[in-house]
């Protein structure tokens, strides 16, 4: 198989040819049709997440067809399309797993971080953490749902019943969740990099009631805000925009340091929450919702060997929507 491999933090991925992996007990092998390029991949490559398994094949928004089954796998046939997300394995026995919080497992494995991911023509996954996907439709359009969509969905749930919802950072996750929130009858206020008119126009096209820079105040008070940009300075800005009793949800796996801010921004029962990983229940709920409500993705595709270019475009903020790698066949 072909794979883009990270050998050293901060260095470009290297295209390598290697033997096809063999699925072990309880595992699937997937012929990869597409793999989304997530900001978490960037955090891995740039060394902002600790202790990745090196060398590692990044990628955890994987769409592909099952082409081999390990022993003991039931419920999957060869040729069916599946999606492989960030959460790749949990222990099932720690206190978090046993009380339904597998996203907080003490000994988890993550695809593209501590086990090989989908920047390749083949990938191995634990069958218990694979989601059935529709056989029809473009694989590249489905890929961003596997993390941008799933983590976005969990963050949307953390926003509670918020009617006026602010989204800080209008990239892969926000452009999906803006659609989901609109389907739920919420009003969206989109915050972009200051001066990014293209992103603001994109948000308005997707139904945002208002779009402006993250240095601006929204025209109405927010019930809640979700921060997708990994910028700690946005936390006090979002707190200043939410009403009494409102919530600020930090949706990223990594964020720059949050600066000190006056207690008055937090007072009156405003809340700051973080989102960590996902559960399989999140996946089942969101993928069903996305299918029922026609949630669409805006993507830019890159051939697999151009993964470094895709990561560079994401790092520089040159994308509207999501980047997706497409392997050669």
DSSP output for 6-58: B-STTS--EEEE-PPP---TTEEEEEEEEEEE-HHHHHHHTT-SS---SSB--
Q: What is the pLDDT of residues 174-193, one digit of tens each?
A: 999 999 999 999 999 999 99
pLDDT digits (tens, 9 = 90+) for 121-134: 999 999 999 999 99
In this predicted structure, the answer to whether residue 8 has a pLDDT above a threshold of 80 is yes
Q: How many residues does the chain have?
A: 329
- Tell me if 301 sits within 8 A of 150, measured CB to CB: no
pLDDT of 21 above 80: yes
The architecture CATH gives domain 2-144+278-326: Alpha-Beta Complex (3.90)
Distance, CA of 58 to CA of 7 (rounded, Å): 11
Domain ranges in the chain with CATH number 3.90.180.10: 2-144+278-326
Quickly name the fold that domain 150-274 has: Rossmann fold (3.40.50)
Question: pLDDT tens digits for 37-49?
Answer: 999 999 999 999 9
- 15-43 as b/e: b if 16+ CB within 10 A: eeeeeebebeebbbbbbbbbbbbbbbbbb
> Distance (Å, rounded) from C-alpha 28 to C-alpha 78?
10
**pLDDT tens readout for residues 212-268:** 999 999 999 999 999 999 999 999 999 999 999 999 999 999 999 999 999 999 999
Q: What is the mean pLDDT of residues 265-286?
A: 97
Burial of 14 (0-12, 13-18, 19+ CB in 10 A): middle
Pairwise CA distance, residues 17 & 123, whole Å: 13
Tokens of 308: 């470094």
In 3-state terms, what secondary structure has residue 113? Answer: coil
Instruction: Pinpoint the residues of the chain covered by CATH 3.40.50.720.
Output: 150-274
Say whether pLDDT at 144 is over 80: yes
Instruction: List the strands of the sheet with 242-250, edge to edge.
Output: 210-213, 187-192, 164-168, 222-227, 242-250, 271-274
DSSP secondary structure letter of residue 206: T
Quote the pLDDT of residue 329.
76
User: What are the φ and ψ backbone dihedral angles of 129, each rounded to 5 degrees?
Assistant: -115, 25
Taking the alpha carbons at both ends of the chain, their separation in whole angstroms is 11
């Amino acid at each position: 198989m072909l794979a883009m491999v990270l050998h050293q933090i901060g260095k470009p991925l290297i295209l390598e040819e290697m033997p096809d992996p063999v699925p072990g007990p309880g595992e699937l092998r997937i012929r990869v049709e597409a793999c989304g390029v997530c900001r978490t991949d960037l955090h891995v490559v740039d060394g902002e997440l600790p202790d990745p398994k090196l060398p590692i094949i990044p990628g955890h928004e994987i769409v592909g067809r099952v082409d081999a089954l390990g022993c003991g796998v039931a419920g999957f046939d060869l040729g069916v399309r599946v999606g492989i997300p960030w959460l790749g394995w949990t222990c099932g026995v720690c206190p978090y797993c046993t009380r339904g919080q597998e996203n907080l497992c003490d000994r988890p494995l993550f695809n593209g971080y501590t086990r090989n991911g989908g920047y390749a023509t083949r990938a191995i996954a634990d069958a218990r953490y694979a989601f059935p996907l529709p056989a029809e439709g473009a694989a590249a359009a489905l890929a961003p749902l596997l993390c941008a969509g799933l983590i976005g969905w969990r963050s949307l749930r953390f926003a509670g019943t918020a009617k006026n919802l602010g989204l800080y950072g209008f990239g892969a996750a926000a452009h999906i969740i803006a659609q989901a929130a609109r389907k739920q009858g919420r009003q969206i206020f989109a915050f972009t990099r200051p001066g990014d008119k293209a992103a603001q126009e994109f948000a308005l096209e997707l139904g945002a009631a208002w779009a402006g820079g993250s240095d601006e105040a929204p025209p109405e008070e927010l019930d809640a805000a979700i921060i997708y940009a990994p910028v700690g300075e946005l936390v006090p800005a979002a707190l200043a925009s939410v009403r009494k009793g409102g919530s600020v949800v930090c949706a990223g796996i990594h964020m720059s340091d949050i600066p000190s801010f006056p207690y008055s921004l937090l007072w009156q029962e405003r809340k700051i929450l973080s989102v960590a990983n996902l559960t399989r229940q999140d996946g089942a709920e969101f993928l069903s919702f996305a299918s029922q409500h026609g949630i669409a993705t805006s993507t830019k595709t890159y051939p697999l060997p151009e993964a470094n270019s895709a990561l560079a475009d994401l790092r520089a903020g040159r994308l509207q929507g999501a980047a997706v790698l497409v392997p050669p066949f």
